[in-house]
Structure 1
Amino acid sequence: MMHHRRTFLADMGMGFTGLALGALLHREGVAKEHHWSPPTGQPHFTPKAKSVIWLFMNGGVSQMESFDPKPMLNKYGGKTIAETPFADAQDPEKLALERLVVPDGNGNQRNTLYPLQTGYRKHGESGIEISDWFPHLAKQADKLAVVRSMWTTDSNHGAQTQFHSGRHRNEGDFPTLGAWVHYGLGSLNENLPQFISIGKREYWNKRDGHYLGPSHDAVPLRIDPKNPLNYSRPARAFHPDERAIGENLIGQLNTIRGVEYPDDPALTARIASYELAFRMQQSVPDVVNFAQETAETQELYGINQPHSKQFGMQLLAARRMVERGVRFIQIQHGGGGAGAWDAHRGLKANHSKNAKAVDQPIGGLLADLDRRGLLDETLVVFASEFGRTPGSQSSDGRDHHIFGFSVWMAGGGLKRGVVHGATDEIGFHAVENRHYVTDIHATILKQLGLDSRRLEIPGRKRLDIDHGHPIDEIIA
């Protein structure tokens, strides 16, 4: 019966639409065979948020010089940890300290605390402490829910993938949070992709769908109205009649292939991409065209400043996507190699430069979403794969640090102007309300109205830690 229905669709010349429907019918057959209900595209319960803007800082942002300042580092800077009241931070029972061990110039090793490289102040009515490297974002302090007690397990930059998927790279490839959202929820705008990625992604963090299938990978987008998508424009100009003939032929060939190989996820994804590409050719360039934005708005995002122009354009595009119903916008800052925030040496120069590039755009995004009434239904996330050590490396840097770091979120039904969790007095260990990275995922899914356990598919049961636990203390 299933085969006859697909053949009928092909014979009717329904092209791309017929193939897409055939794939859906096949999925229904798999669901019946496994007594499994695939996602309907509807939330499982009433959502508080519609969209997510995921801002990821590649390389590892220092928690001490951003959203968890530690004045004790100034008081005891230059001393070994053993010479301070925090000597028990070296206790093997509290996890390893080897990444704080650096040469002292005499062939010996010592654990030397490194002073803060910038000042900090309390901001807003909430009094959240934020470093002086983020003055524009600090003005939005009363919109933030800061989680200062994150931890992870990958001490190298594969942690970028771990933060997105919840699994260590040594365990294999697993769907990212954006892919699960794309898999679980229906479209809010049929003319735009529902999952978009902006910015460079390293090879270990290149894909999203994995066992959910390539159709759940993010669509990469450039902020260029003339060429925003790969292969979205022909290599040379074609007459409309010629183009229509080509599109019709591709449709017929793909329909035949789809009937012959209904179980091929790559083919299904490719056809879905073609369908969407036709609709996007007009809609996507409009999203990244800022001609209708006022000078005041562009200035708010820092587009008029060379240091913040690129990131500002990306975030302004993100706001325009949210307005048009895009579900999940994933923006990578400083991607490539280890990541721009990786400050093993020269931390002051590194972080001050990177913060200057992102601070005004992020502050502008929060202000702009709020004044347009979009922040309540949009969840903005600021994350990095791990933090950095309280001790020095290469005399003026900090190494990777997985035992305690910070993430903040804003909007989407979360409380405003709150801090949750804590690290110890030197920013080494998360000691209060500790949260593994999937707790961020669980919080986001809850606000979108999704139950991750109801998204599981046959043969792919997830570990309990994969699901995480919503951070209810920051949910309004």
Structure 2
Amino acid sequence: MNTHELQSRRRLLKTSAIGFGHLALSSLLHEQAQAEAPVESPLAAKIPHIAARAKRIVFLFMKGGPSHVDTFDPKPLLTRDDGKPLPFDLPRVTFAKQSNLLKSPWKFKQFGQSGLPVSELFPHVAKHVDDLCVLRSLHGTNPAHGGALLKMHTGSDQFVRPSLGSWVTYGLGTENQNLPAFVTICPTLAHGGVNNWGSAFLPAYCQGTPIGNASLSASKAKVKHIRNERIDPQMQRRQLDLIAAMNRDHLSVAGRNAALEGRLNAFELAFRMQSTMPEVQDLESETELTQRMYGIDDPITEDFGRQCLLARRFLERGVRFVQVTHSDSEVQWDQHSNLYKGHTKNAVEVDKPIAGFLADLKARGLLKDTLVLWGGEFGRTPTAQGNNGRDHNPHGFTMWMAGGGVKGGYAYGATDEYGYYAVENKMHVHDLHATILHLLGMDHERLTYRYAGRDFRLTDVAGVVADDIFA
């Protein structure tokens, strides 16, 4: 524009108006394009921080606290000194009164090329010992079930915090947009209940989806109302679109609302699940051989076998985190008395299904990038409660991993010569969580969420990765 054109104010406004109109039109088109562009799902798969050894995880949770000295951590001195007093001090805080040392009622035997010892309680799992990484030095802080369950599942026994599965979902998303990223099968409603699979202050989409609960048989553990018998999918789609449009209008005026956005995402996921979930839950589509491998043909192993088979079907369809819980209202793994009867019952119910699960994952090529975690909220004392039981012991206990980039046929850490305290390569629950996240490709110090003015993480201000267990 030259000088004498600028001298005319009218000419300036007239010619500039075209420019303003162009800018306005561009803005409107941009806003329309944004509105029409597909919105990325918050559950979309995310790039991990580091190279991941595992893509997914399944937690085989044994509620009540299985005894490590009777399962995967043999103590010859416990047998030798049966009935004698513990030769060192008890913890400052104990859950209940304890008496003298109590030997294991079961013998241990070495298995596989690794020669790792496993007790008579797990003859089927023992055949897979060369795939197991046995962690013998776990320890926590709380001797009560409620606090210990919350510690194991959320990293805190005092506050409501997001669960491990929710953190994994937040960090990695899922590989199947038609299923939840985090599923918990037959979870216990006691000792923390929904907090053990809750998302707390993380976004609502990180919440675990329960399939049944511990009071139901696995055969009845279904997603309720997965089919709408009154309205066809086309009408449902129109209803959801209308609801979404109305709520987007509300959000444009009122601003962001995490709870409302969470409900909208839940509506959409529930709609998509209608076409996917019934097929996943149809275990009858599995071969008779597969069902027998999981023990579904035996009433003793049927219940847990169904849970494990359902877990495999979720995992192979891209669900990121699956939990399977063995629990009942009478026995669990909490043998303060009748140790032999209770642990025998529990082990028989889960031994064959777990072995079948490991074998099936391996045969399908899933074990190499699926992390399997087995264990409870704590262990049991080597000292007796009464004359035939064991008390809670968070000071030293055993869990094991398989697949997912860990060493097979390997024992990590140790408890003392009687099995009371973790003493070698001690692995706190925070260390366990840090190690799990690392295997899944996440740096536990970088996986944070800003809430109430500070950055939170699963491992709080602790956590050391046990990289010695990596293959």
User: TM-score, normalising length from structure 2?
Assistant: 0.85
Matched, 1:210 2:210: no
Residue aligning to 1:396: 388
Letter in 2 for 1:461: D
Alignment pair present for 1:166 and 2:155: yes
Partner of 1:376: 368
Query: In the alignment, what sits opposite 2:169?
Result: 182
1:240 offset after TM fit, Å? 5.2
SS where residue 229 of structure 1 aligns?
coil
| Partner residue, 2:92 | 96
Match of residue 443 from structure 2? 451
- C-alpha distance in structure 2 between counterparts of 1:431 and 1:129, whole Å: 19
The answer (yes or no) to whether the contact 2:64–2:376 under 8 Å persists in 1 is yes
How has the CA–CA distance of structure 1 residues 57 and 257 changed in structure 2, closer, same or farther, with 3 Å as cutoff?
A: farther
User: Aligned AA for 1:333?
Assistant: H
2:324 aligns to what SS in structure 1? strand
Query: In the alignment, what sits opposite 1:265?
Result: 258
Q: Does 1:283 align with 2:276?
A: yes
Query: 1: CA distance between counterparts of 2:424 and 2:448?
Result: 31
Given residue 189 of structure 2, which amino acid in structure 1 is its aligned partner?
A: E
Separation in 2, partners of 1:97, 1:210? 30
* Range that drifts further, 246-255 or 151-160: 246-255
- 1:13-57 deviation line (CA, Å, top 9, x unaligned): 89xx76x77xx7xxxxxxxxxxxxxx9821012111101011111
Contact 2:185/2:307 (8 A) holds in 1: yes
TM-score (ref. length: structure 1): 0.84
Report the alpha carbon displacement of residue 315 of structure 1 after superposing the two structures with TM: 0.9
Which residue pairs with 1:321 in the alignment? 314
The separation in 2 between residues aligned to 1:422 and 1:281, in whole angstroms, is 48
Task: State the partner residue of 2:418.
Answer: 426
Structure 1 residue 186: Cα displacement: 2.9
- The reply on whether 1:220 has 2:201 as its aligned counterpart is no
- Measure the CA separation in 2 of the matches of 1:435 and 1:12: 49
Q: Is the 8 A contact 1:381 1:407 kept in 2?
A: yes
C-alpha separation between the residues in 2 aligned to 1:352 and 1:346?
Answer: 10
Question: In structure 1, what is the Cα distance between the partners aligned to 2:108 and 2:294?
Answer: 23
| Residue 332, structure 1, aligned to residue 332, structure 2 | no
Aligned length: 433
Per the TM alignment, residue 249 of structure 1 is displaced from its structure 2 partner at its CA by: 3.6
Q: Provide closer, same or farther for how the CA distance between residues 197 and 99 of structure 1 changes in structure 2, counting only shifts above 3 A.
A: closer
In structure 2, do the counterparts of structure 1 residues 184 and 305 end up closer, same or farther at CA, with 3 Å as the change threshold? same
Q: Which residue of 2 aligns with 1:354?
A: 346
Cα deviation for residue 292 of structure 1 reads 2.9
Give aligned-pair identity as a percent.
Answer: 40
Deviation at 1:117, TM superposition (A): 2.0
What is aligned with 1:77?
A: 82
Q: Quick check: 1:297 aligned with 2:284?
A: no
Q: Could you tell me how far apart the structure 2 residues matched to 1:342 and 1:227 are?
A: 24
> Is the counterpart of residue 461 in structure 1 residue 449 in structure 2?
no
- The whole-number CA distance in structure 1 between the counterparts of 2:97 and 2:234 is 69
Q: Aligned-pair RMSD on alpha carbons?
A: 2.8
Gaps of 5+ in 1: 25-38, 82-86, 103-110
SS of match in other structure, 1:279: helix
- TM superposition shift of 1:261: 4.5
Task: Return the offset for 1:401.
Answer: 0.6
Deviations 1:146-170 (A, max 9, x none): 01011100110120110111112x2
- The 5 Å alignment of 1:24-43 reads 41-43=46-48
Structure 2: gaps spanning 5 or more residues? 1-26
Matched position secondary structure for 1:174: coil
- Decide which structure has the larger Cα Rg and report it: 2
Give the aligned partner of residue 106 of structure 2.
118
CA deviations over 1:130-186 (Å, ceiling 9, x no partner): 111111100000000001011100110120110111112x2x111121111100113
